[in-house]
């Protein structure tokens, strides 16, 4: 909705969704997770070190650096 221009600010989109701009910003950051990490979370194969606290904390946006330590390499 931001990309399409329907909402031009995070604050406007947050109001529409009924959440705070801060929460929306934190959720939007998760779109920068490497596909391998998202897949591991959905498959429940992520390592024990991948916690909610670790993914809401600042993280590398380079996918190769993210997957180096975050996904169980079984």
Tokens of 40: 């591991």
How far apart (Å, rounded) are the C-alpha atoms in residues 35 and 22? 24
Query: What is the tens place of the pLDDT at every residue in 15-70?
Result: 999 999 999 998 888 889 999 999 999 999 988 888 888 887 888 888 888 887 54
Confirm if 7 and 16 have CB atoms less than 8 A apart. Answer: yes
The packing angle between helices 35-43 and 63-70, to 10°, is 30
Torsion of CA 63, 69, 71, 74, to 10 degrees: 130
Q: Delimit the domains of the chain by residue range.
A: 1-32, 33-74
């Amino acid at each position: 909705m931001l990309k399409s221009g329907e909402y031009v600010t995070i604050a406007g989109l947050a109001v529409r969704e009924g959440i705070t701009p801060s929460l929306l910003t934190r959720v939007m950051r998760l779109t920068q997770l490497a596909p391998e990490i998202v897949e591991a979370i959905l498959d429940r194969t992520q390592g024990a070190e991948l916690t909610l606290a670790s993914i809401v904390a600042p993280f590398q946006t380079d996918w190769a650096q993210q997957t180096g330590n975050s996904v169980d390499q079984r």
